[in-house]
Amino acid sequence: MTLVAVSKTAPASRVRAAVAAGLTVLGENRVQEAAGKVPEVPGAIWHLVGPLQSNKARRAVELFDVIESVDSVELAVRLDRLAGEVRPGRPLPVLIQVNVDADAAKAGFAPADAWAAVEAVLALPNLRLDGLMTIGRLATSPEDARATFRELRELGLALRARYPGLGPELSMGMTDDYEVAVEEGATIVRVGRAIFGERPRIADPDAEQR
């Protein structure tokens, strides 16, 4: 299992300390913040775990080793073209984001639409489709998120039966519910507050409390 230490709002000095302590897989929600941090933190593997606007796609391909939040075929096509330009011969690892709970506040494909999305992304030569990602429902108890994680796991099994090229990764679970996600088969968990502490309360419509 991979632990992605989500370093959103954490200063580069603290992130370097985390890397020195062995937390070498890091996550950021926003391309702009990552652009100022990635060059200051050597020796890390970077995941984009937040929403990606198409006008920031090139910078994302330049900065990140993995993009977990592919939420449209159009974005995937754009990333494929850019990856071919920025990193020729090295397919960019991506995950398809699935909005399991049909939550209007979250991005991602509906489970029924994930089939066509997987087929489309697998056809893109400069992307490597490593698996699926979801965000658990906002709930008072971590147990309430179990159904979301179980559904993503079952969807992944069904998709791989039809599309063997789909990788095995299931990115699900954050600070408040990662233990339940692991029980349901998570291979990647995205944990921020439990590692870097509470974040400043800054108005950010794209923010997710990891």
Residue 204 lies in a domain: no
Q: What is the pLDDT of residue 138?
A: 81
The per-residue pLDDT for range 13-55, each reduced to its tens digit, is 999 999 999 999 999 999 999 999 999 999 999 999 999 999 9
**How does residue 205 score in pLDDT terms, banded at 50, 70 and 90?**
very low
Residue 102 lies in a domain: yes
Provide mean pLDDT across the span 77-104.
97
Residue 80 lies in a domain: yes
Residue 184 lies in a domain: yes
CB 96 within 8 A of CB 129: yes
CB 66 within 8 A of CB 47: yes
pTM of the model: 0.93
What are the phi and psi torsion angles at 46 (to 5°)? -110, 130
Residue 206 lies in a domain: no
CB 169 within 8 A of CB 130: yes
Q: Which two tokens stand for residue 182?
A: 């692991």
Q: β-strand 45-48 against 66-70: which pairing, if any?
A: parallel
The per-residue pLDDT for range 137-158, each reduced to its tens digit, is 887 899 999 999 999 999 999 9
The domain that holds 129 is classified in CATH as 3.20.20.10
Q: Over pLDDT 70: what percentage of the chain?
A: 95
| pLDDT above 70 for 97 | yes
Q: What is the pLDDT of residue 209?
A: 43
Residue 203 lies in a domain: no
Quote the number of domains for the chain.
Answer: 1
| pLDDT above 50 for 125 | yes
- Write out the residue range of the structural domain in which residue 55 sits: 2-196
